[in-house]
Structure 1
Amino acid sequence: MTLLYERLGRVEKSYTPVEEEEISSIIRKRLFSKIDEEDAKKTVAELIEYFKEEDILPQGIEPSEYRQEFLESYPFLPDVIDCLYHRWGSFPTFQRTRGVLRLLSLILYNLKDQNLNYISLADINLKDPEIRRELLNHIGNEFDSVISADITDKNSGSKQTDNSLGAAYKGLQLGTRSAITIFMYSFSGGVEKGASINEIKRSASFGSVPSSIVSETLETLKDKLFYIQHHTGKIVFANQPNLNRILLNKIESIDDKEASNTEKEYLQQHTKQGKLRTYIWINQSNDVSDDSELKLIILNEQSKSFVSEIVENRGASKRINRNTLFFLAPIESKRREITLSIKRKMAFEQIILDAYHNLTEDQKKEVKSSVKREEENGRSKIREVYRNVYVPMKNKVDEIDLGVPTYGYDTNLSDEVFEKLKSEGTIIARLVPLVLRERYLKGRKHVLTKQIYENSVKTLGEDRITNISILEDCIRDGVKQGLYGLGELKDGKEIPIYWKKEPSVGFGDNEILIDSLICEKELEIKQERLETVQEEVITETVVDKSSKKRVISTIDTPMIKIPKGKVSQILGLLNYLQTKFNKLEIKIVAEDGSVTEDEYDNKIKEALRQLGIKID
């Protein structure tokens, strides 16, 4: 403004009535003793060119015509004179020319120390007490609080918008400048009130930045200001609170616990019927079962100590299946975003219940769409916030970041964690027989199959398989390939039963994988013995006409009592019979001992079920 004063000279203070068409020239004569016409032409030309490039010149007026108006009103943008003279001047108390001159002299005095090339409505300082009082004299003191709440206070919506813009625009105060422009256009003694987007752009923008930034600024102001309204394509300030103010009051009345309950519901919906058994916001280690199923524990907050407590204990007892646990924790810095979105949704729902009849039709539509929008927003933020996966290892806890979700994310959160852990090699969906042999039989003669499985669920850092059938398939494939044999351990001796053929895997207490060299030697001897087994049988004979040899087509033995410790030999016999007959039936009668109901269901019936055998 210092530069402007050098160009304009001193400020006059005498006023006399003028005709409307002379207002611009009279203002210059009354307020300034001289104008640097060359500087004026340069500034006007540059600004008109910017307005043309941005397509924000007033409608229905040629650039040359607007240029002439600007030269006559310089250093004021023509919009300043037009707004003050025609809108504010329509108030009976304003006295048109005299009121314009009085107000402009206050504005000039306030800006005298600023280095401005021209003056727009956005340059009017509403914090200045004299300027503010002059305006309030015509519109009423009730707007004093409106100015403070939405424009001048340090926590106002305008200042929040200024600070929310990118680094390149943060210092330009486009939020405050846009709000001031809207405010000045909002009042008239007639019917015309409010500012169009182009009117706001002409006053609030600078030639050095794209005017589209003002459009983005207005979108932010729409959510931040409490007293702006939208009517027929224009934005206007009113002394009645808008939906933002009503919404904020509702939000402030919603308890954090209510929002937390909704957040938990969102989590339940995001993990329903997922690939990992999921526990949400548990309070104690006893809430998590101790079994072989893989589990995902979603934490209410990041707490490594709570993770350790769950991994090590189940209530007062030590946890056995420690390698079945994964944890998902929120990013604390973004947690508030979920809460705010949920509260906004709940607030809009309360507005529908409490104040719907007082809303305009446009506001009713906005409220309904906002409920849906905020619910979708809250659900999407669940994935943005809950993304830190903790994987307990032997002496540490590994952290895996799920990353930022893609646009339109709609995946089960439990499934995504599962797939991420699978891609990282933490969860194993398929075991390779050669790897199993190298890991468990290298330098050993045998390993218990039950021990391999128990290691996977009990020992931290071991391969975590999705279920026992993964290991069963791996054992079966390795046996058929001859990488190792399957048998049992008796009196410290390896007894092979299956090698290079389809095995029956049961994970019994004595069932073992056996080094292939032992199998090759032992099974050759055993095969010779099996061929000499004599049993009392009832046979039905037929004659093979092609070979003229007598063959046995049906074998039906009486009930056989199996000597203790001879099960493996019988299994070998049954396997031999299965190679000769398509149908083979056995009846199991176990006496003189007992198993629990759980053992019967989980070990006997489940083993038969996995074999595809139905029990009538």
Structure 2
Amino acid sequence: QSPWLPASGDETYEIIRRRLFQPLDADGEKAREETVKAFHELYKKNPAEFPPEAKEARYLELLRLSYPIHPELFDRLSKDWGSLPNFQRTRGVLRFMANVIGVLWHAQTRAPLITPARIPVAHERVRASILYPLDPAFASVVDREVDGDGALPSRMEANPTRRISQLRAATRAARAVFICSAPLVGQQNAGLTGQGLRLACAEPGDQIAIFGEALRELTEKATYLYEEGGRYWFSTQPTLNRLADDRAGGFPAHEVDAEIVKVLTADAAHKGSFYRVYPALDDAFSMDEASTLSLVVLPPAMTHAGKGATKSAATDAATDALTRCRASQRRFRNTLIFVAPDESTFGNARDVTRKRMAWEAIASDLRLKESMTTGQIKDAAEKVQSNKESALKAIRAAWSHILYPIKSDTAGKPFELEHSFISSKDRGALPGVVYDKIKADGIVLEKLGPERLGLALSPIWPADRPHLPVAEIADWFASYVYLPKLRDRVVLDTSIRDAVGGTDPQFGYAEAFDEQTGKYQGLVWSKSPPNLFSPNALLVSAEATAKQISEAPKPAGTGSSDGAVQAKAQGGSSSAPQSAWPAKARRFYGSVEIDMS
């Protein structure tokens, strides 16, 4: 006996047809032949998409015999539903199909065959007859997740531009799974396979893959739709997805935020090019003075509304931290960069983190595991990992507003806050992403250069100071927001070497200044200073450098008629600053003895 025949054989088809339909006339016979051949051709052309029996000649005969009812529906009703005590096999099939056909006839349904996917489960007559032999708990399952205006599939199809909406693919898939799985809940190997789904749903002209896509989305969102080992079924017990949703909603906001802070703290370990990273300080003003480039990751409560926003919890926190260091005024402001969460996307980061926490709780619940199948335990472990990755991405995506101090145009105001937005999608650790952005935008410099160094120092170099300690200059760059922000001290030291050692040097360099002699020790001009600066290293003005070089003792045996000097400062080169050097000699005198013999 063919596995496609109901238990009572082909007679069931004949009984149902004779009781429910009039004999076909010539036009009806022609329509039947065209329809069954179109379905069979669909199965033969896509053999991998359907059960192997569907492409056989025997199945074409079954299509003819059962027309306009699909053989798969006959098979499910007579075998699966017929096994239920309250369904009564042939009589139950007849009673159920009478209701279905009556509803479809009055609705003028134009489907070519009555497949499991075309059963109007939500209609009150059909709903009553299909729920009668089942567990009463299935009533809420049908209403919420199978069929009806408020059911999950209908909500998924609410957007008419979606592919699944055009074929009502979600509703058809949900109906098919319910019809083909509900009577066998709890039995081994129950449920509808992917091939079975397509057999129960697809019609000639349909996009076959759309039903699998719709079912996968349903599985992610549904409460009672299960999937394991490639089989799908509805149950009266909530799925792990539903349990995860319930648990996720039970976590208070402060616990979720604490988990987010843990992620931010772990990210802070990857400092990138920042010297320090302060993760999620509740009181940013309490952090130590930092003369090196530092990133302040503001906590979850301190969000920012966007680029156009001038005031937010984030700007208040950043302003407070830049203004004071505990009870004192903050000195080093130009080294601080802040990154804050976006007000609109932070909610998503919270939601995804809740989901991660829920799946972690499920996977570690030993009592719950006792009632879970092997497949569910594996699924829970996979959900933990996937939600962990999703939460990390969502948190990194939320922290997207960079705030930093710049010179204020308002008199008496020490600084303004400027904003930069991180728009990249796939992000690594937060410090590295922030640094890449401020580097790309020119907010922080990795190369200063001698010209820019000179332009920065010229307006603030006191006229009565011929030299400045390099350490003091470094403090200026760390303090004054109108100066360029530097990645680190190496950037400043390199620019000093370039400014001193170039062909047209702007400054001199000295190891120290002797107060007793009034002379610079280790004065360097037009020559690169040592790689490691002295703790007392000085940047010397061109005038002071020229003065010492010009006053240097003249080496014996050199001279000129008008006093031109070639002197070498201690540790320096033989060329002096052009602006302070005596005029070049243009006439030279000398004598030599000539042997006349």
Question: What is the TM-score normalised by the length of structure 2?
Answer: 0.74
Is the counterpart of residue 329 in structure 1 residue 340 in structure 2? Answer: yes
1:365 aligned residue: 378
Please give the per-residue CA displacement for 1:320-369, whole angstroms capped at 9, x wherever unaligned.
33322222233444434433333333323333324122222222232233
Q: Deviations over 1:406-433 (max 9, x none)?
A: xxx6x43212322332233222222222
> Would the alpha carbon gap of residues 289 and 209 (structure 1) be closer, same or farther in structure 2, given more than 3 Å must change?
farther
Distance 1:167 1:429, change over 3 A: same
CA contact 2:500–2:527 (8 Å) conserved in 1: yes
* CA distances 1:565-614 after superposition (whole Å, capped 9, x unpaired): xxxxxxx986479xxxxxxxxxxxxxxxxxxxxxxxxxxxxxxxxxxxxx
Matched with 1:347 is 358
Change (3 A) 1:331 1:524: closer
Q: How far off is 1:475 after superposition?
A: 0.8
Confirm whether residue 416 of structure 1 aligns to residue 405 of structure 2: no
- Offset of 1:434 from its aligned partner? 3.4
Task: Output the CA distance in 1 between the equivalents of 2:108 and 2:86.
Answer: 31
Show CA shifts across 1:184-206 (max 9, x none): 11144897742121111223345
Contact 2:51 2:199 in 1 (8 A): no
In structure 2, distance between residues paired with 1:126 and 1:507: 85
* Alignment-derived partner of residue 175 in structure 1: 170
In structure 2, the residue matched to 1:313 is 323
Pick from 47, 52, 68: which aligns with 2:44?
A: 52
Partner of 2:265: 268
2:21 — aligned with what?
A: 32
1: CA distance, partners of 2:460 / 2:476: 18
Aligned partners of 1:270 and 1:414 also within 8 Å: yes
What secondary structure, in the 3-state scheme, does the structure 2 residue paired with 1:127 have?
Answer: coil
Contact 1:297 1:326 in 2 (8 A): yes
- Distance in 1 (CA, whole Å) between partners of 2:196 and 2:183 is 16
The answer to whether structure 1 residue 109 and structure 2 residue 102 are counterparts is yes
Could you say if the C-alpha distance between residues 25 and 460 of structure 1 is closer, same or farther in structure 2, counting changes exceeding 3 Å? farther
One-letter code aligned to 1:42: E
Tell me which residue corresponds to 2:446. Answer: 429
1:99 to 89, 92, 98: 92
Q: Superposition pairs for residues 185-264 of structure 1, below 5 Å? A: 185-188=180-183, 193-230=190-227, 233-264=230-261
Q: Provide the residue aligned with 1:501 in structure 2.
A: 527
Cα–Cα, structure 1 residues 24 and 393, in superposed 2: closer, same or farther, change >3 Å?
farther
Aligned to 1:398: 419
Give distance in 1, aligned partners of 2:260 and 2:150: 29
- SS of the aligned residue for 1:528 comes to coil
**In the aligned structure 2, how far is the partner of 1:576 from the partner of 1:400?**
48
Report how many aligned residue pairs link the two structures.
511
2:72 and 2:116 in contact (8 A); partners too:
yes
1:186 partner SS: helix
Report the alpha carbon displacement of residue 403 of structure 1 after superposing the two structures with TM. 0.1
Could you tell me how far apart the structure 1 residues matched to 2:150 and 2:286 are?
A: 45
Deviation, 1:268, is 0.7
Q: Look up the match of 1:383.
A: 396
The structural deviation recorded for 1:522 is: 2.7
Deviation, 1:43, is 3.4
Counterpart position of 1:145: 140
Task: Answer with 205-214 or 235-244: which moved more.
Answer: 205-214
CA drift at 1:209: 4.4
Describe the SS at the equivalent of 1:139: coil
The aligned amino acid for 2:66 is: S
CA distance in 2 between counterparts of 1:71 and 1:230 reads 33
Residue 65 of structure 1 is aligned with which of 55, 58, 81? 58
Post-superposition offset of 1:273? 4.7
Q: Does 1:88 align with 2:98?
A: no
Kindly indicate whether the alpha-carbon contact (under 8 Å) linking 1:495 and 1:522 is maintained by their aligned counterparts in 2.
no
Q: Distance in 1 between matches of 2:109 and 2:540?
A: 88
1:60–1:26 CA distance, 2 compared to 1 (3 A): same
Distance of aligned partners of 1:322 and 1:521 in 2 relative to their CA distance in 1, 3 Å threshold: closer
CA distance in 2, matches of 1:483, 1:442: 18
Aligned pair in 2 of structure 1 residues 105, 57: CA closer, same or farther (>3 Å)? same
Percentage identity across aligned positions? 23
1:522 aligns with 2:547: yes
Contact 2:144 2:151 in 1 (8 A): yes
- Structure 1 residue 120: deviation in Å? 1.6
2:506 corresponds to 1:484:
yes
One-letter amino acid of the counterpart of residue 437, structure 1: G
Q: Give CA-to-partner distance per residue, 1:492-517, whole Å, 9 cap, x none.
A: xx9984311344766979x55534xx
1:156, 1:369 → 2: CA distance? 28
Q: Does the 8 Å CA contact 2:444/2:486 hold for their aligned counterparts?
A: yes
Q: Aligned-pair distance for 1:440?
A: 4.2
Q: Shift of the alpha carbon at 1:113?
A: 2.2
Gaps of 5+ in 1: 1-17, 532-571, 578-616
Structure 2 letter corresponding to 1:499: W
In 2, Cα distance between the equivalents of 1:440 and 1:204?
Answer: 77
For 2:268, the aligned partner's letter is T
Q: Residue type matched to 2:176 in 1? A: T
Corresponding residue for 1:586?
none
| Distance in 1 between residues matched to 2:389 and 2:84, nearest whole Å | 47
Residue identity in the other structure for 2:524: Y
| 1:368/1:465 CA distance change after superposition, 3 Å | same
Distance 1:109 1:288, change over 3 A: farther
Q: CA RMSD in A?
A: 3.8
Q: 1:336 to 1:171 in 2, by over 3 A?
A: farther
SS in 1 for 2:296: strand
Q: Deviations over 1:29-48 (max 9, x none)?
A: 33233653333333333333
Over 3 Å counting, the alpha-carbon distance change for 1:62 and 1:576 in structure 2 is closer
Structure 1 residues 326, 172: CA separation in 2 closer, same or farther (over 3 Å shift)? farther
1:296 corresponding residue in structure 2: 295
Structure 1 length-normalised TM = 0.72
Report if aligned partners of 1:331, 1:388 keep a CA contact under 8 Å in 2.
Answer: yes
Assess if the C-alpha contact under 8 Å between 1:326 and 1:390 holds in 2.
yes
Determine the structure 1 residue equivalent to 2:561: none
Distance 1:503 1:61, change over 3 A: closer
Q: 1:250 to 1:425 in 2, by over 3 A?
A: same
AA partner of residue 552 (structure 2): Q
Relative to structure 1, is the Cα distance of residues 45 and 442 closer, same or farther in structure 2, using a 3 angstrom cutoff?
farther
Unaligned runs of 5+ residues in structure 2 are 1-6, 305-310, 408-415, 557-567, 574-597
Is the CA contact (8 Å cut-off) linking 1:174 and 1:205 kept in structure 2? no
The 2-side partners of 1:74 and 1:367 are apart by 44
> Shift in Å at residue 483 of structure 1?
1.9
Structure 1 distance, partners of 2:505, 2:83, is 98
Tell me the CA shift for residue 266 of structure 1: 1.0
* Post-superposition CA distance 1:296-341 (Å, at most 9, x none): 2223243343444323522665543332222223344443443333
Q: Which moved more, 1:221-230 or 1:353-362?
A: 221-230
- CA distance 1:123–1:334, change in 2 (3 Å): farther
